[in-house]
A and B are shown apart, each in its own frame.
Chain A
Amino acid sequence: TQLLEQSPQFLSIQEGENLTVYCNSSSVFSSLQWYRQEPGEGPVLLVTVVTGGEVKKLKRLTFQFGDARKDSSLHITAAQTGDTGLYLCAEPTGNQFYFGTGTSLTVIP
């Protein structure tokens, strides 16, 4: 089990701003998932990245997997209040899911 460190831990921005959050590990990921958890809800899968250097887009969200598969980033363009939540990276390993430390995002109107 590897430790997935996320940064920053907390982020508060104005609506319309851009932001990037990061997920890092000392070991190579087999694949990586990003989840979003809204207040009072369980995490929901946003994307899975598998190949080093892979970039995936989901509307205003851009996910990038590092070339060496040891890090990943999530970039949000023109943040909206609905983006508020806890962003979690996770490594699916075998039949288990190991979650990172999380980035708590607050988008202020």
Chain B
Amino acid sequence: EAGVAQSPRYKIIEKRQSVAFWCNPISGHATLYWYQQILGQGPKLLIQFQNNGVVDDSQLPKDRFSAERLKGVDSTLKIQPAKLEDSAVYLCASSPLGGGPEAFFGQGTRLTVV
């Protein structure tokens, strides 16, 4: 079974530029999560989708972050414009409908804003 795929693995941008991350979850997983992880800390949930609908985006800085999950499969997370404090690893995870027993994570995208 293929795991959660994310791209790119690394991205370096200047502040005020825009950036987009892509995630393809495990086939058949209805729930998709985007997490932000500051170096050495635990992941913080940004947004949760169930199929193509948003379940929770309460922690998403909506003035600069946006996410979509068209057709209920893959998803993109965008930051525009980026700030220095957005430097982090952005993790995508998926789980079966109903949460399932665990969250399955991709390798993440490491973003550096300079």
Q: Restricting to A78-109, which residues have a CB under 8 Å from any CB of B? A: 86, 88, 90, 92, 94-102, 104
Residues of B within 8 A of A40 (CB): 107-108
A97: nearest chain-B partner, CB-CB:
B103
- How many chain-A residues does the 8 Å CB contact rule pick out? 26
Within 8 A of A (CB), among B62-114: 91, 93, 95, 98-99, 101-103, 105-108
By DSSP majority rule, is chain A's interface helix, strand, loop, or mixed? strand
B26 at the interface (CB under 8 A from A): no
12 sampled A-B residue pairs with Cβ under 8 A:
A40-B108, A41-B108, A42-B4, A95-B50, A95-B95, A96-B33, A96-B48, A97-B45, A97-B103, A99-B44, A102-B41, A102-B42
Contacts A44-B105, A98-B45 aside, 17 further interface pairs with beta carbons under 8 A come to: A9-B40, A40-B107, A41-B105, A42-B91, A42-B105, A42-B106, A43-B103, A43-B105, A45-B103, A90-B42, A90-B103, A95-B50, A95-B95, A97-B33, A97-B45, A97-B95, A102-B40
Chain A residues at the B interface, C-beta cutoff of 8 Å:
4, 6, 9-10, 33, 40-45, 48, 86, 88, 90, 92, 94-102, 104
